[in-house]
A and B are shown apart, each in its own frame.
Chain A
Amino acid sequence: MTVANYVKFFTDPYYTAILATTVRISVLVTLACLVLGFPLAYVVARTQSRFKNLLIISIVLPLFVGNAVRAAGWMTVFGSKGFLNTTLQWLGLIDKPLEIMFTEKAVVIGIIAVNLPFMVLSLQSVIEGIDRAVEEAAFSLGAPPATMFRRVLWPLALPGILAGTILTFILAMNAYATPFLLGGPLFKMMAPLVYNQFTQQTNWPFGGAIAFILMTVTLALTVAANLIIQRRARS
């Protein structure tokens, strides 16, 4: 028995840089999902429209397709001759195709698209349980919308925010298909690295060590973020 695999990971800047990239992208994706998902969840939770079920289905619909297929869909959008570049060039907004494919931007957008439904559904179920009268009471007492959001809606929606951020963060940390397909061969994240060690390098001990480091870091960051958010909410 040896801890050499763990030592190797933490002493080699190549591997620690991959861990740092994974954590950075996961935090970025989680924040983006929260910012994009909260207004969407609020609208879905509060709408009186008869198309409410249709809205919920349209949010859930991407989950019916696997991550690899969705990443392949993004590849057709981001490619140098893809939908985005062709449209922008046709509109005369750009001369040369934008380089999005096989960059960090493509990976971030791809993971946001995968994780957003989980955030919206977690938030929507909690916001629906908040009595609308509480918001109206804040407005009637003269609170502007920003204050109502900060003092009333945000604290009451905190369980949903926590559930959504935990889910999104864990999924982003362990994302495999999206970074693999949209990031290209030079872009590295932890889950493709584990797979690479198991299959290409056939180094099971080191692959197992990376998998355990990924699990421990994910767990530690999730618990730490929860404690900080809950302490702030109490104070």
Chain B
Amino acid sequence: MLGPATIFIALCLLAPLVILFRYSLNEFVPTKKMMVRR
């Protein structure tokens, strides 16, 4: 159970936090919004 539990924790709980932390280190450019470019 250690394997699946570790993967679940890593993917579902820690990954969003790590991504958010990385985002917090970005510079905010008001003209460059988080939108899908077409």
Chain A interfacial positions (CB closer than 8 Å to B): 1-6, 202-209, 211-212, 215
Q: Is the CB of B26 within 8 A of A202?
A: no
In the complex, B12 has a CB within 8 A of chain A = no
Q: Is the CB of A206 within 8 A of B25?
A: no
Q: Is the CB of A5 within 8 A of B34?
A: no
Q: Is the CB of B34 within 8 A of A205?
A: no
Chain B interfacial positions (CB closer than 8 Å to A): 17, 20-21, 23-28, 33-34
Q: Is the CB of B28 within 8 A of A203?
A: yes
Q: Is the interface of B mostly helix, strand, loop or mixed?
A: loop
Could you say which residues of chain B place their CB within 8 Å of the CB of A206?
24, 28
Q: Is the CB of B24 within 8 A of A212?
A: yes
- Counted as pairs of residues, one from A and one from B, with CB atoms less than 8 Å apart, the total is 39
Measured in the bound complex, the distance between the Cα atoms of B17 and A208 in whole Å is: 9
Q: Is the interface of A mostly helix, strand, loop or mixed?
A: helix
A203-B28, A204-B28 known; 10 new pairs, CB 8 Å cut-off, are A1-B26, A3-B25, A4-B27, A5-B28, A6-B24, A205-B23, A205-B26, A209-B24, A211-B20, A215-B17
Q: Is the CB of A202 within 8 A of B24?
A: no
Nearest CB in chain B to that of A204: its residue: B23
Could you say which residues of chain A place their CB within 8 Å of the CB of B27?
2, 4, 205
Could you say which residues of chain A place their CB within 8 Å of the CB of B26?
1-2, 204-205, 208
